[in-house]
Amino acid sequence: MAPPPSAIPLFKPSSSPPPSFSSSSLLLHNSMLKRLAFSSSLHRFLSHPTKLLPSSTTTQHISPAHFPALSSLIFRRPVYASKLLAMAEQTSNPASQSHKHTNRLAAEHSPYLLQHAHNPVDWYPWGEEAFAEARKRDVPIFVSIGYSTCHWCHVMEVESFEDEGVAKLLNDWFVSIKVDREERPDVDKVYMTYVQALYGGGGWPLSVFLSPDLKPLMGGTYFPPDDKFGRPGFKTILRKVKEAWDSKRDMLVKSGAFAIEQLSEALSASASSNKLPDGLPQHALRLCAEQLSGSYDSKFGGFGSAPKFPRPVEVQLMLYYSKKLEEAGKLGEAKEGREMVFFTLQCMARGGVHDHIGGGFHRYSVDECWHVPHFEKMLYDQGQLANVYLDAFSITKDVFYSYIARDILDYLRREMIGPEGEIYSAEDADSAESEGATRKKEGAFYVWTSQEVEDILGKDATLFKSHYYIKPSGNCDLSAMSDPHNEFKGKNVFIERKDSSEMASKFAIPVEKYLDILGQSRQKLFEVRCTRPRPHLDDKVIVSWNGLAISAFARASKILKNEPEGIKFNFPVVGSDAAVRFNDLTQEPKEYIQVADRAASFIRRHLYNEQTHQLQHSFRNGPSKAPGFLDDYAFLISGLLDLYEFGGQTNWLVWATELQDTQDELFLDREGGGYFNTPGEDPNILLRVKEDHDGAEPSGNSVSVINLVRLASMVAGNRSDHYRRDAEHVLAVFETRLKDMAMAVPLMCCAADMLTVPSRKQVVLVGHKHSVEFENMLAAAHASYDINKTVIHMDPTNSEELQFWEGNNSNIALMAKNHFAADKVVALVCQNFACSAPVNDPRSLVALLSQQSSSSA
């Protein structure tokens, strides 16, 4: 669907970043890049000048000087997508084939490693066996990093790693290691950071050459197999690296060691003080909003240009800042910011990047109008996007947004949840076009010809095709990619028209009838699509991504109770009997919190050690070897706090506090401030990074600050003060980023402002739980959008709950005991050391919270 990823430093297309691309995660200052680029040894082996990918800072270009063996490896012309897509069509039905080759990856659990278990390449998994072999043979290491649903990883496998000639070169001259970036993000972070810092961008597959002691020698992303159009192929690159290793080894090793040393210094900086300067949080919030507004696409929505990625942290920043403006009485500016968000969410939901038949969102759009997607679906996108659509519904009460939130969550419930409640990672972009086909193609599961739609829908086809812009010639126009041999010629994705009322008038039918026809048509297409060969499912369970999904499911369980009654949902949902149904009128939002509860329970059972209080990172046929990383702790804690605040048991809050203690023990730099991304116990992980970039996923440091603010508002005394001090110290590490490059850290900007709020609003609900009254009062407490609000619920007749609150916040325990009534649920709203008079019905609570918001403004 998109141009091949750049072989950095050897090739970077000027039009767009790699399809499976990584934005610069920790963007280095120009001075650091110059120091890296112009060290005398490094200067000799770096190759082609490149520019940074979108959202990155401008850096000093790097050019070759004294190393012709590598500096000659420069790609100067783009590769047509269709040629590589043809090469990317994969062999399927492996079970029906006898395997000529089997390597060490066959014993692994990772779906990505298993995909390469029968390559002729003598792959090793990441580990001491491979490192020892490289030392023994005195050869460099080739590391290939990707993930199982990565389209361009599949391309490189078919072109190079299944090729006997390429395999012989790799096996003779290198020790080759395969890494699943989702299973080992710590390994990926080291070498992706190296590639990004030195060459200006990165993506997957990530291809890096290392010395036997794991220092990077050179790196890139995707490499085509053969020399074409005057460009060297992968086999040529292997020969050149071999020649350089034989003749320039000392220089290469010194260069790699220097790069790691400089990166380590830059990416583990310490704070110069214990807190941010006064006024900086407000400056950063305003600056980030201004920078995002400056990049806003008023025609097609979104921030920035093609390819367009849904970056939910940008939406979160704009909604948060608009709320602050509203509270300050700047209603016009607040409305302007919100309208940018709402238009963006509408364009995304109506575009082809949204799966209108099965629900959920694809990874990104290759064009500026959210039209043609790259078709893989990632769990981290679904969880975050569901949350921002829930936020939009909370603000507008427009069921368009609640509909999309349900669409995402019911896709996950239907397709991505395992037997014990665990939530899987991703679905591939590629699949076979028909049962028994020997090749896979990107998007085959999702695209349609006009004739297929006509054959399935019959008399309703004209209406449906008009509503979704379906054309006989196809609507996947990739002319912007200069691709004269479009692989998707005649194929359509669904792009929804905006005005159903106008279209209903055109067909002379009531709007309700028009919408029913669309829903019934989608049902028919869904049923037919279910007979197609499905894309590969990566059924790995990742703690951090489950944390994001837990948050969305928990929040939906109460926010969606504020929808008007009698709404018809014309998309596939899963009922309590696990059957797929359409036009569902009775789908209870409370079922969503059960999904969140089961996912959290799975992690506690299978990926948490009750003795050490530590997490493992992922699960597939058992826990992975990798420990839990910062994101695992931070995202799970965030999800558990939402699970508690939106109606879960107090034990989830207890676990969140325990996990926070462990996170601080493993990752917190108590002297310098900030959280490292890894525990630091593995000597083979050469970089320990303090991540700050809020990209496709938020940074662990940003989420951690928000967690600490929330926890500080729940507990009292020294523990509350401790949480706030830690949050202040974390933010102080990133002072320069907040001051100068706020757009790179939108969620951290929100976190910094949240910490300055003098008194966070508390809503305290007291009464028996598991009742309709309790559910309704909890829904009322969450009816309005207010990030600076904490909801606490307590039943003082429950001894475990009472014990927790008496030990952590005696004021809450006393308040609950004084206001408990056996026959009703009582709510109090507290702020600035004062509490409102108690109320006991949802409407009064909604009115009270609205009044409190007005008075705070």
Q: What is the dihedral angle through the alpha carbons of 598, 599, 604, 606, rounded to the nearest 10 degrees? A: 110
CA–CA separation, 607 and 603 (whole Å)? 5
* 3-state SS, residue 816: helix
Task: Examine the pLDDT at 539 and tell me if it is beyond 80.
Answer: yes
Q: How far apart are CA 521 and CA 465, in angstroms?
A: 10
In degrees to the nearest 10, what's the CA dihedral of 330, 336, 340, 345?
A: 70
Q: What is the pLDDT of residue 580?
A: 54
pLDDT in tens, 329-358: 999 999 999 999 999 999 999 999 999 999
The answer, yes or no, to whether residue 610 has pLDDT greater than 50, is yes
Proportion of the chain above pLDDT 70, given as a percent: 85
- Burial track 410-447 (b if 16+ CB lie within 10 A, e otherwise): bbbbbbbbeeebbbbbbbbbbbbeeeeeeebbbbbbbb
Q: What pLDDT, in 10s, does the model give residues 629-640?
A: 999 999 999 999
pLDDT band at 289 (very low <50, low <70, confident <90, very high): very high
Structure tokens at 448: 């349609």
pLDDT band at 731 (very low <50, low <70, confident <90, very high): very high
pLDDT at 488 (0 to 100) = 84
Can you tell me the mean pLDDT for 119-139? 97
Confidence band, pLDDT 50/70/90 cuts, at residue 854: low
CA proximity to 662, closest of 699, 703, 700, 634: 634
Worst-scoring range by mean pLDDT, 19-28, 415-424, 727-736, 830-839? 19-28
**Is the separation of the CB atoms in 665 and 674 below 8 Å?**
no
Mean pLDDT of the chain: 86
* pLDDT, mean of residues 511-537: 94
**Alpha carbons within 13 A on the beta-carbon side of 578:** 4
Question: Nearest-CA neighbor of 211 among 253, 254, 263, 259?
Answer: 253
Residue with tokens 């028996």: 768
Peptide bond into 205 cis (omega under 30): yes
HSE (CB half, 13 Å, CA atoms) of 115?
A: 27
pLDDT category at 486 given cuts 50, 70, 90 is low
Is the Cβ–Cβ distance between 704 and 634 less than 8 Å? yes
Question: In the predicted model, is pLDDT for residue 30 greater than 80?
Answer: no
Mean pLDDT value across residues 492-500? 92
pLDDT of residue 571: 64
Question: Token match 């949204």: residue?
Answer: 354
Extract the runs of DSSP E, i.e. beta strands, from 88-140: 90-91, 123-125
Report the predicted TM-score, pTM, of the whole model to 2 decimal places: 0.89
Q: Are 180 and 148 in contact (CB under 8 A)?
A: yes
Q: Is the predicted pLDDT of residue 33 greater than 60, yes or no?
A: no
What token pair was written down for 637?
């804690």
Above 70 in pLDDT, residue 74? Answer: no
Summarised one tens digit per residue, pLDDT across range 807-840 is 999 999 999 999 999 899 999 999 888 999 999 9
pLDDT in tens, 241-266: 999 999 999 999 999 999 999 998 88
Average pLDDT over residues 44-61: 30
Task: Please return the burial class of 272, using the count of CB atoms within 10 Å of its CB with bins 0-12, 13-18 and 19+.
Answer: exposed
CB 589 within 8 A of CB 402: no
The answer on pLDDT for 50 being more than 80 is no
DSSP structure class, residue 272: S
**310 Cβ neighbours under 8 A, 6+ residues apart:** 348, 353, 361, 364, 381, 385
Please give the single-letter amino acid code of residue 7. Answer: A
Q: Mind listing the pLDDT tens digit for each residue in 569-591?
A: 776 655 434 455 555 544 577 78
Q: Residue 623 to residues 124, 350, 619: CA-CA distances in angstroms?
A: 20, 39, 4
Alpha helix (H) ranges present in 228-365? 234-247, 249-267, 280-294, 312-327, 331-350
pLDDT beyond 50 at 506? yes
Structure token pair of residue 815: 């308040």
Least Cα distance to 118 among 82, 155, 157 occurs for 157
Q: What percent of the chain has pLDDT over 90?
A: 75
Task: Answer whether residue 720 shows pLDDT above 80.
Answer: yes
> Is-contact 152 19, C-beta < 8 A?
yes
Question: pLDDT, tens digit, for every residue of 202-250?
Answer: 899 999 999 999 999 999 999 999 988 777 889 999 999 999 999 999 9
In the predicted structure, residue 34 carries a pLDDT above the cut 50:
no
What is the C-alpha to C-alpha distance for residues 25 and 745, in angstroms, rounded to an integer? 10
Q: What's the pLDDT band for 23 if we cut at 50, 70, 90?
A: very low
Structure tokens at 350: 């109506």
Interval 35-40 mean pLDDT: 42
Cβ density class 119-153: b for 16+ within 10 Å, e for less: bbbbbbbbeeebbebbeeeebbbbbbbbbbbbbbb
DSSP tag of 698: -
Q: Give how far the C-alpha of residue 557 lies from the chain's centroid of Cα atoms, to the nearest Å.
A: 22
Helix spans in 125-223 (H): 128-137, 151-156, 164-173, 185-199
**Token pair listed for 839:** 């109320």
Q: What is the pLDDT of residues 133-186, one digit of tens each?
A: 999 999 999 999 999 999 899 999 999 999 999 999 999 999 999 999 999 999
Measured distance between the N- and C-terminal CA atoms of the chain, rounded to whole angstroms: 48
Rounded CA-CA distance 739/280 in Å is: 7
